[in-house]
Structure 1
Amino acid sequence: MSILTFHCRLLRCVSRCFTATTISYPKREKLEDFQREYTNTKRTVILDLDETLVHSTTQLPGVKYDFMVMVKMEKEIIPIFVVKRPGVSEFLERLGENYKVAVFTAGVEDYASQVLDKLDKNGVISQRLYRDSCTEVNGRYVKDLSLVVGKDLGSALIVDDNPSSYSLQPENGVPIKAFVDDMKDQELLNLGEFLECCYGYEDMRDAVKDLLA
């Protein structure tokens, strides 16, 4: 059992043991009403791309790749082979039912936009930010979440395999194991369960505190 599944189940069990003032997690059909009780702004999940949703390589991967994109690098067109993380299509559809979904990547737009076009056939992702939107800190690309949600940071979480990417707002970060070629990986399934639990929090950053406690 992953840490995401464990915490989600633990929170459900605890909620049954307290009075009505304690958080109880609503069924899926109740999520929209429950959300409006806390905020007029739709909650936002910001996703990293590489090693979070997909793994990309210029060499043939050790597993079957899902698609290929062609990217210009130093005046040469290079093929990029892309392997989708298991469950990514279902995860995006599930997430889009209740959240605004954005992707914030340190990848260049020429590459990342092609990958997202193929990955998000149903248009779940409503906002895309690329390397040129990152802030460079000590030679690293850092993602400022205020570019997505403004000052309403309590309404958003970022999922990223690299914690330094959200170092400007670490309290909003949900870590995820980096994906390369493990086709039995279930991180997105477990993440989906955790994100449903986040509706029980007025400030989504408190969900992260409980997750990492």
Structure 2
Amino acid sequence: MSILKFHCRLLRCVSKCFNSPTISYPATKHSYTNLEKPEDPLTEYTNMKRTIILDLDETLVHSSTQLPGVKYDFMVMVKMERDIIPIFVVKRPGVTEFLERLAESYKVVVFTAGLEDYASQVLDKLDKNHVISQRLYRDSCTEVNGKYVKDLSLVVGKDLRSALIVDDNPSSYSLQPDNGVPIKAFVDDLKDQELLKLVEFLECCDSYEDMRDAVKDLLAN
């Protein structure tokens, strides 16, 4: 068993680091409520699986109307006005393993500011094993000062302690900033390892009574 997994199970510490210079996992000495992970993924507080809400573009994939500088993984056809436009999609490295590991402990939701015609096609190809249980698109966003903002209460109601959102754009979760887990935007770095590092952090978060406390520890270091 790795040192990280040992601490996740016994001490529920967050100890590994992002490559991003502004985000790192703390070797925490903070005071927080730690819970033993139950035998099943149901929490004793809500009796429901806790929720990880994921952005799509620049978090899980990068899409472009132009051929990317690296090999693309698949293409979708999207209607724009009177034309049908090809969209080239590059998957972030590790995205398949990331989704499958998350689904073992969490309800996995994708909340994107992308239009449904585009995003639904991408998710159909990305989520071959159907681990994403809910999808929300631009029409579910709230427009604030000309920006699309994602209201997490549409997914989890008032129980915001049981959910986190992963997004490369902090403005997207400005209504509930304490629930936001920032991630470096992905474009075409095929050596990117952010998702596989992030999943180890998220696998520890469900041991917190309030998952927002895990984010506080993350951002404090």
Aligned length: 202
Secondary structure of 1:23's aligned partner: coil
Match of 1:2 among 4, 18, 28: 18
Task: With the length of structure 2 as denominator, give the TM-score of the two structures.
Answer: 0.85
SS at match of 1:200: coil
> Which residue is equivalent to 1:134?
141
Unaligned segments of structure 1, at least 5 residues: none
> Structure 2: which 5+ runs fail to align?
1-16
What SS does the aligned partner of 1:178 have?
coil
Map of 1:163 onto structure 2: 170
- Quote the residue 1:179 is aligned against: 186
Say whether 1:44 aligns with 2:62.
no
Higher helix share: 1
CA contact (8 A) 2:41 2:105 kept: no
- Find the aligned partners of 1:155 and 1:174 in 2 and give their Cα distance: 14
- Structure-1 residue corresponding to 2:112: 105
> Which of 14, 23, 40 matches 2:34?
23
Tell me the distance in 2 between the aligned counterparts of 1:173 and 1:111.
25
| Corresponding position: 1:193 with 2:200 | yes
Show the counterpart of 2:5: none
Partner of 1:60: 67
Which stretch has the larger CA shift, 189-198 or 33-42?
A: 33-42
Paired letter, 1:23: N
Identity score, percent: 80
Q: Relative to 1, partners in 2 of residues 1:34 and 1:149: Cα closer, same or farther, differing over 3 Å? A: closer
Aligned partners of 1:3, 1:155: CA distance in 2, in Å? 27
Aligned partners of 1:168 and 1:148: how far apart in 2? 13
Q: Specify whether residues 211 and 3 from structure 1 end up closer, same or farther in structure 2 by C-alpha distance, changes over 3 A only.
A: farther
Deviations 1:77-116 (A, max 9, x none): 0000000000000000000011000000000000000000
Task: Please list the CA deviations of residues 42-100 of structure 1 after superposition, one character each: whole Å capped at 9, or x if unmatched.
Answer: 10000000000000000000000000000000110000000000000000000001100
Q: Does residue 1:210 correspond to 2:213, yes or no?
A: no
**TM-score computed with the length of structure 1 as normaliser:** 0.88
Q: Does 1:88 align with 2:95?
A: yes
The answer as to whether partners of 2:43 and 2:50 remain within 8 angstroms in 1 is no
User: Per-residue CA shift, 1:155-195, capped at 9, x if unaligned?
Assistant: 00000000000000000000000000000101001110100
Counterpart of 1:205, as a letter, is R
